[in-house]
Structure 1
Amino acid sequence: MTSLDKKYLQAYLPFYSTSYTQKYLLRSYQEQGITEATQYSFSNCYPFISYIENGLLYLKQASKIALQIKPLLLYYGFTHLLKACVLVVDPVYPETTAVLAHGVSTRKKKKQQYEFLMDEVKIQRNGLFTHLASKMFHMKLSEEKYSMITLLKEIPELSSIFKRMKGNLPQLPISLHKGALHIDQTVLNHYHMTKDRFIQLAARKWRLPIDLENISEEDNLIKLGLIEPMSKNKESLLPFRYDYLLDIYTLSLQKDAPSQTLPDMLIMYLLLYNLSMISRYEIDWWTELFKEMGHQDLPFISGFLDVAEFKIPMLVGEWLTGREV
């Protein structure tokens, strides 16, 4: 475990105190105007701690086992942590059995010449995925499909793998300095947009808090001032994503893909769900993947699992601490 991992795991330590956790839940419920907030904060205290404890246990074990088994432990560990998050914003979870399903489906039978990168998952109307999207991120997702390659391209820590394997970068670096986004002209060239059209895209479609009175240009840089300061939750600047390895913000070049504005935690869930299903039920293909090593899929799968191992506790920890008063 690296020092970076330990730093982010410390975000969870206060939750092992029932008095702290009860007060944490109470504040959240009161801010949402939930009736019987006190009662819910006491009744959900132990389930919340159990989700955290078990989720981190799965993740810690995932760091010690073979790559072939890693998707299962990462998926279940992540699911436990997400259920803790849902309890923060939904005190009656699970209110119905409908929210207990995965909320995602994938092909039951893989085609010949199957490629993971070209595989898809489909969002279901009900289930954990759609429930946490609604409760945690206030998103109403349609029953659409996401391909694995479009999801992987939205993970900035994988950009170097895409560069070496595919010959291009799916993300370009963006600077955030003194409350302003510094965007290089290269980004506009990739988007085939003028400055004014890009600003319209950012303000209207992406709904970023741009200060239209605080926009300037300097040395091929466009500086977009933000009305609101950065919150602790890095998801607030989507589709600009944070690269935890390089300590920079990036912007995806997939401007027409629905995955571009999908929060990092939802992207992680979709990828881990599919990999956990494949490792369980497509055992012939999964075994061949590691034995033959002839698939282009393996570097991307291995790279993603490495990123997921350290990024999941960071993302969840930041979401939880971002709700503290």
Structure 2
Amino acid sequence: MTTEKTWQPYIYLNSSESAQAYLEKIYKRTAGLNSTELSYQNSCSFMYYLMHAESFYTQAGEAPPSIKPMLLFYGLTQLVKACLLTRDPGYPETTSVLAHGVTTRKKKKQDYLFLKDEIRIQKNGLLHHSAGTLFGIIELSKDRFSMEDLLRRIPEMERCFQLLGQKRKTFYLTDKNGLLCLPSEAAVAYHLSEQRLAEMIGHHTGLKPSETNGCWGFEKKDLSPFITSLFSYHHETGQYSLPADKEELLVLPELLTHYLLLYNLSMISRYETEWWYDLIQNRSSNDYIYIRRFMEITAWKIPVLVWEYLAEEGGLAR
């Protein structure tokens, strides 16, 4: 799962002095004259969030599958809190932002299938606050998501779906001299012109569409694997993609996708013990494969995505 190399860059923020210098640099752009005081106040919290996250992820790498989801979920929440301090020096100002902000059905039905399970977004809590503060998203596309919807938003899961017989084409953007061109096949599948597709994506993301030699797309420098919401980013290939169906175009950054999946899995591992142990010990359905593959991906991808965000915000060398 997670490796020492994944966490190696974080060591440069593992002292209160370096954490304060990092935050002060960011706060000077946003908080002005209060930057020194605010960075001093938040430096230890910021550093401890990152250190605590690393502890959770490291333990998840050594833990049995039965408790991995809980460790990964709480590790992710610590990283989210560290990110929030870069944008919201007053975090947490109220107790309402401390709750998880999501809910799921506690008691699973007898014919329960993980892919069909749903999770609902609440109006307050850490997820809602993160969506607004980190990504500028006031309202998500939907207030509930199925596990299949969420897993399909993680491009590294595509091979898993294909091997298990659920082949649905993913459309990858092509890089033409720094312009990421939208695939014409996606426009056809969505019943839109390429220009209209570019304009729709621009409307939801704030990105400015460009056109060169009949190719509609977006400047690569304007996209970020961390910030992007309608697109997905395959970290192993470095490609951005769009889903097979227009209905799957969700305003949901990947960090929050992992948050929702891990929250549900952590709840299942705590409260649906019989189903959970039957799955991981007897491997009674393909749910085991989807869940195992996802936990392998999330263990390394989230720390990498968060570091890229922190490096970009603070002007750190990657």
TM score, norm. by length of structure 2: 0.91
Counterpart Cα distance in 1 of 2:174 and 2:201: 16
**1:1-325, aligned counterparts within 5 Å?**
5-33=3-31, 36-141=34-139, 144-169=143-168, 171-211=170-210, 214-217=211-214, 222-224=215-217, 226=219, 229-230=221-222, 233-257=224-248, 260-325=250-315
- Bigger mean CA offset, 143-152 vs 51-60: 143-152
Counterpart Cα distance in 2 of 1:147 and 1:224: 29
Counterpart Cα distance in 2 of 1:129 and 1:184: 32
- Flag the 1:86–1:119 CA change in 2: closer, same or farther, 3 A: same
Answer yes or no: is the 8 Å Cα contact 1:118–1:148 preserved in 2.
yes
Answer yes or no: is the 8 Å Cα contact 1:102–1:127 preserved in 2.
yes
- Bigger mean CA offset, 181-190 vs 51-60: 181-190
Q: Deviations over 1:169-203 (max 9, x none)?
A: 35222223422113333222322323233233233
> Shift of the alpha carbon at 1:38?
1.7
Code of the residue aligned with 1:148 in structure 2: it is M
Q: Deviations over 1:232-253 (max 9, x none)?
A: x324444222212233222222
Code of the residue aligned with 1:10 in structure 2: it is Q
Counterpart Cα distance in 1 of 2:169 and 2:72: 25
Counterpart Cα distance in 1 of 2:14 and 2:169: 39
> Shift of the alpha carbon at 1:18?
2.1
Counterpart Cα distance in 2 of 1:95 and 1:135: 13
Q: Deviations over 1:108-139 (max 9, x none)?
A: 22122011111111111111111111111111
Code of the residue aligned with 1:149 in structure 2: it is E
> Shift of the alpha carbon at 1:27?
2.1
DSSP 3-state at the match of 1:36:
helix
> Shift of the alpha carbon at 1:298?
1.3
Code of the residue aligned with 1:179 in structure 2: it is G
DSSP 3-state at the match of 1:141:
coil
Q: Which runs of 4+ in 1 moved over 6 A?
A: none
Code of the residue aligned with 2:221 in structure 1: it is P
Code of the residue aligned with 1:265 in structure 2: it is L
Counterpart Cα distance in 2 of 1:236 and 1:191: 24
DSSP 3-state at the match of 1:85:
helix
Q: Deviations over 1:244-280 (max 9, x none)?
A: 223322222242246x221110001000000000000
Counterpart Cα distance in 2 of 1:254 and 1:19: 48
Answer yes or no: is the 8 Å Cα contact 2:199–2:209 preserved in 1.
no
Counterpart Cα distance in 1 of 2:85 and 2:159: 36
Code of the residue aligned with 1:174 in structure 2: it is L
CA RMSD in angstroms comes to 2.2
> Shift of the alpha carbon at 1:149?
0.6
Structure 1: stretches of 5+ with no match in the other structure = none
Answer yes or no: is the 8 Å Cα contact 2:65–2:280 preserved in 1.
no
Counterpart Cα distance in 1 of 2:32 and 2:125: 23
Identity over aligned residues, as a percent? 36
- Flag the 1:204–1:92 CA change in 2: closer, same or farther, 3 A: closer
Code of the residue aligned with 2:246 in structure 1: it is K
Counterpart Cα distance in 2 of 1:66 and 1:318: 29
- Flag the 1:35–1:124 CA change in 2: closer, same or farther, 3 A: farther
Question: Alignment length, in residue pairs?
Answer: 314
Counterpart Cα distance in 1 of 2:304 and 2:41: 27
Answer yes or no: is the 8 Å Cα contact 1:153–1:170 preserved in 2.
no
